[in-house]
Amino acid sequence: MQVNTTSVSDTRAAGTRVVALGIAAVVLILGAAAAFLLWSLPDANAFNARVEQLFVENADLTSEAEIKLLEILAQSGTAFSETLGSYRVVIFVLMLFATGLLIASLVFVVTIVVLNRRIGAIERQGIQVSSLVINRDENIVALNDMEFKLTGAAIETLAVLAEARMDGDVLSGAEIEAVISGRNASDCEEAAGATRIKRLRDALGNQIVAELLIRTVARQGYVLSIDQKAIQMT
């Protein structure tokens, strides 16, 4: 029977997709905003064109004061064009900074969310298994960076469970007993497989608790490997 599970890699992949979609959305929104701002700015040559039109329509302005006024207007148009050009550059640079900051903020937020989920999963599970290596020849199982010595029967039970997990299957007690003994599942009892699981839990669980909970202090004795404030006695 297939079983659906959610792993840390699935969570990481989902977080990566969210980051990619978020970055694309940020770039599109800011790009559209920048295009709208640049489009809404008036034409840099609009003022110069208007001054030129004044020159054409008022050709009878021949006095020195009137000509001086038109020259001032022309110079103002040139200054206006340069100002609009600098505004466009400033807007472009600011949009680049805004895009970078928003993308960085999005990445940080998603990273924090993913880390919080992983921490929550670790707190619920008690131990996060990143690697499991089974050595049948020496009857040793390596869990993360810890090695535990088991009996041959316990190693076989764990190996059967590991193979089923890689295939995405869930085995009943009778099926576990059938795989180990080589008989048909219909000829095996559910209690036999359940007994194997119980012995595996007892053998491996005791060693894990001893490894994680109890620490040996050289030439002094033993101490619990937990924070003092975490202990409550009633």
As a whole number of Å, the CA-based R_g of the chain is: 37
Q: Which H or E element spans position 223? A: strand 221-224
Is residue 103 within 8 Å of 26, Cβ to Cβ?
Answer: yes
Task: Report long-range pairs for 79-83 (Cβ below 8 Å, ≥24 apart).
Answer: 80/44, 80/47, 80/48, 81/44, 81/45, 81/47, 81/48
Greatest alpha-carbon pair distance for the chain in Å reads 119
Q: Which pLDDT score is estimated for 3?
A: 42
Q: How far apart are CA 89 and CA 96, in angstroms?
A: 11
What pTM value is reported for the model?
Answer: 0.46
pLDDT by residue for the chain (234 residues), tens only, comes to 444 444 555 655 666 677 677 777 777 887 787 777 777 766 666 666 776 676 666 666 666 766 676 677 667 767 767 777 777 778 778 878 887 887 788 778 878 877 877 777 666 656 667 788 899 889 898 888 788 888 888 999 999 998 888 888 888 889 999 999 888 988 889 899 899 999 988 888 888 877 777 777 777 777 777 777 766 665
Write the CB contacts of 148 (distance below 8 Å, at least 6 apart in sequence). Answer: 140, 141, 142, 204, 207, 208, 211
Q: Which pLDDT score is estimated for 101?
A: 83
Q: Which of 23, 3, 6 is nearest to 14 (CA)?
A: 6
Q: Which pLDDT score is estimated for 77?
A: 67
Is residue 141 within 8 Å of 158, Cβ to Cβ?
Answer: yes
Q: How far apart are CA 85 and CA 43, in angstroms?
A: 10
Q: How far apart are CA 44 and CA 78, in angstroms?
A: 9
DSSP assignment letter at 182: T
Tokens read off for 115: 């880390």
Q: Which H or E element spans position 32? A: helix 8-40
Q: Which pLDDT score is estimated for 118?
A: 74
Is residue 203 within 8 Å of 141, Cβ to Cβ?
Answer: no
Q: Which pLDDT score is estimated for 195?
A: 92
Residue 34, classed as helix, strand or coil, is: helix
